[in-house]
Amino acid sequence: MRLLVTGGGGFVGSHVVEYYAKKGDEVIALDNLSRARILGSGERNARYNWEHLGRYDNVERAEGDIRDGGLLQRLAGDVDAIIHTAGQVAVTTSLKDPRTDFEVNVLGTFNVLEAARLSKSNPAVLFCSTNKVYGDNVNKIPVEELKTRYTFAQGHASGVPEGLSTDLCEHTPYGCSKLAADIYVQDYGKRHEVDTAVFRMSCIYGTRQFGTEDQGWVAHFVIATLTGRPLTIFGDGKQVRDLLYVEDLVRAYDAFLGRRDRYAGEVYNTGGGVKNTTSLLELLDLLEAETGMRSELCFSDWRPSDQKVYISDIAKARKELGWEPKVSPKEGIKRMVSWVGENKRLF
Ligand SMILES: NC(=O)c1ccc[n+]([C@@H]2O[C@H](COP(=O)([O-])OP(=O)(O)OC[C@H]3O[C@@H](n4cnc5c(N)ncnc54)[C@H](O)[C@@H]3O)[C@@H](O)[C@H]2O)c1
């Protein structure tokens, strides 16, 4: 295969590139390397994943911007699939600069779809959407408070299905731009222009993730713990997320590519599911058990539109893609602790 991975220098993107590079496929990684600048995660980090990919002869690295439709058309001319991970990724940044958020997430995704539609090689398009497209509707699901976590009340225990409304509720600019892009991707698939799939991802974590307070909280917690820095918890720390290790996510993408004709235009909630949930407080306990260390904590107000509980109902991905997460939070955190420990100079 020949693939184009937008955001190939990012966390998810670099894992996608590496997965296919190891299989012997030809991969083009496209990135404008903006993450470190925008999220202040350090100049050295900007190129870390990019340089990591330099070891593969079958990876071509293209520095460029998804807002440039002509560039995308040139790169997509002869590929079999486009895995679109590039994006403005932080809710906080979208509140400060909604225009850039809109241009990167909506126009950038539209450019990807058009490049695929016009390509001679009929590439599939896989889009990294987010649970944030459900906005505040998630917070209308009743929750119960337990000692260290919130939990969905009876009747909602299997998590959020794809059919939850994305409408008639509050969002953030990030939620709006991702939702607009998500609907475009579905529509190109449903109208048989392009074989598309939308992956509404929850909390993805893994090695080579440069998490900050604004995005990538699991990595941010691991890095702070191992470097002895204090952590701020927004809310009470009992909010719950389902964690999905990045390699499991890439397997879901690959499973779709094997079934692209049958399921074009579909949406998949993609997370760790009920089995792989943790609250923020519980993750700190898991980290302490793994490292013997614990960051000093301070608590601050809840962030806008934060969800008390988000758990993906992964039944549809399981059934249609024959996919199942394999890496438990305990195992995933162990791998991250070891990667951060070996690369402390970066932090
Ligand atoms: N990590 C998660 O938990 C999570 C959850 C839900 C959705 N997502 C989505 O998954 C995708 C990947 O997220 P990630 O965690 O790997 O983030 P990331 O920031 O590590 O990767 C995104 C990459 O896109 C690049 N980029 C940004 N704007 C660009 C532009 N205009 N042109 C070209 N490249 C550009 C950045 O430089 C970065 O390398 C994003 O679309 C994000 O919204 C991530």
- Which of 19, 150, 174, 263 is labelled catalytic? 174
List the domain range (segments joined by +) for residue 303: 2-346
Determine the residue of 89, 102, 222 to mutate for testing ligand 1's pocket, defined as the one with the most ligand atoms within 8 A of the Cβ atom: 89
**CATH (domain of 155):** 3.40.50.720
Where would I find the H helices in the chain?
A: 11-23, 35-39, 43-46, 48-53, 69-76, 91-96, 98-102, 108-118, 173-190, 217-227, 246-257, 280-291, 315-321, 329-342
pLDDT at residue 46 in the model: 72
Largest CA distance in the chain: 57
How far is ligand 1, taken at its centre, from the CA of residue 9, in Å? 9
Contact 30, 75 (CB under 8 A): yes
For residue 332 the two structure tokens come to 């995933």
Compute the average pLDDT of residues 8-30.
98
Which residues line the pocket of ligand 1, CB cutoff 6 A? 7, 9-13, 31-35, 65-67, 85-89, 104, 108, 128, 130, 201, 203-204, 216
* 253 given a catalytic annotation: no
Q: Would you say residue 41 has pLDDT above 90?
A: no
Q: Up-side HSE of residue 63: CA atoms within 13 Å toward CB?
A: 6
The string of pLDDT tens digits covering residues 275-301 is: 999 999 999 999 999 999 999 999 999
The model's pTM: 0.98
Q: Would you say residue 37 has pLDDT above 80?
A: no
Q: Would you say residue 35 has pLDDT above 90?
A: no
- Give the atom of ligand 1 at the shortest distance from the alpha carbon of 36: 37
Compute the average pLDDT of residues 153-167.
96
Q: Would you say residue 185 has pLDDT above 80?
A: yes
> Percentage of residues in the chain with pLDDT exceeding 70?
98
Determine the residue of 50, 85, 94, 212 to mutate for testing ligand 1's pocket, defined as the one with the most ligand atoms within 8 A of the Cβ atom: 85
- Rounded CA gap, 166 and 299, in Å? 30
* Number of domains composing the chain: 1
- In order, the DSSP letters of 314-329 are -HHHHHHH-------H
